[in-house]
Amino acid sequence: MNILLTGGLGYIGSHVTVVLAEAGHHVIILDNLHNCKIEVLDRLAKILGNSPAFIQGDVRNQLLVESVLKDQKIDAVMHFAGLKAVGESVQKPLMYYENNVGGTISLLQAMKSCQVKKIVFSSSATVYGIPQYLPLDEKHPTNPESPYGQTKLQIEAILQDLARSDQSWKIIALRYFNPVGAHESGLIGEEPNGIPNNLMPYISQVASGLLPKLKIFGNDYETPDGTGVRDYIHVMDLAEGHVCALNYLYNNESEFSIMNLGTGAGYSVLELVKLYQKVSSRKITYEIAAKRAGDIAACYANADKAAVHMVWKAKRSLEKMCEDSWRWQSRG
Ligand code: NAD
Ligand code: UD1
Domains and CATH numbers, the chain: 2-180+232-262 (3.40.50.720)
Residue nearest to atom 33 of ligand 2 (CA): 198
The share of the chain scoring above pLDDT 70, in percent, equals: 100
The preferred substitution site among 84, 174, 230 for testing ligand 1, maximizing ligand atoms within 8 Å of CB, is 84
Is 255's pLDDT higher than 90?
yes
Task: State the DSSP code for 301.
Answer: B
Q: How confident is the model at residue 331 (pLDDT cuts 50, 70, 90)?
A: confident
Enclosing H/E stretch for 176: strand 170-176
In Å, how far are 70, 111, 313 from 241, measured between CA atoms?
27, 23, 8
Query: Measured from the CA of 149, which atom of ligand 2 is nearest?
Result: 11
Q: Is 169 in the pocket of ligand 1 (CB under 6 A)?
A: no
In which element (H, E) is residue 261 found? strand 256-261
Residue minimizing CA distance to atom 30 of ligand 1:
122
Whether residue 257 contacts residue 173, with contact meaning beta carbons closer than 8 Å, is answered with yes
Cα torsion 301, 305, 310, 312: sign = positive
Q: Is 297 in the pocket of ligand 2 (CB under 6 A)?
A: no
148 given a catalytic annotation: yes
* Ligand 2 midpoint to CA 295 (Å): 7
Predicted pLDDT of residue 86:
92
Confidence of residue 192 (pLDDT cuts 50, 70, 90): confident
Angle formed by the axes of helices 269-280 and 199-207, to 10°?
Answer: 40
pLDDT at 186: 97
C-alpha–C-alpha distance, residues 276 and 318, integer Å: 9
- 82 pocket-lining for ligand 1 (C-beta < 6 Å): yes
Which residue, among 303, 302, 308, has the nearest Cα to 136 in the 3D structure? 302
Residue type, 85: A
Residue 332 has pLDDT above 90, yes or no: no
Strands 229-230 and 267-268: antiparallel
| Residue 253 reports pLDDT greater than 90 | no
Radius of gyration of the chain (CA): 19
Residue 254 has pLDDT above 90, yes or no: no
DSSP designation for 228: -
Burial class (CB in 10 A: 0-12, 13-18, 19+), 93: middle
Whether ligand 2 lies within 6 angstroms of the CB of 216 is answered as: yes
pLDDT tens for 316-325 read 999 999 999 9
> Residue 12, class by beta-carbon neighbours within 10 Å (0-12 exposed, 13-18 middle, 19+ buried)?
buried
pLDDT at 218 exceeding the cut of 90: yes
Given the residues 148, 176, 221, 267, select the one marked as catalytic.
148
pLDDT tier for residue 3 given thresholds of 50, 70 and 90: very high
CA of 219 to the centre of ligand 1 (A): 31
Q: Is residue 10 in contact with ligand 1, taking CB distance under 6 Å?
A: yes
CA of 232 to the centre of ligand 1 (A): 18
Tell me which residue has its CA closest to atom 35 in ligand 1: 122
Q: Which ligand is nearest to the CA of 295?
A: 2
Q: Mean pLDDT throughout 57-67? A: 98
pLDDT band for position 193 (cuts 50, 70, 90): confident
More confident: 96 or 192: 96
- Type of residue numbered 258: I
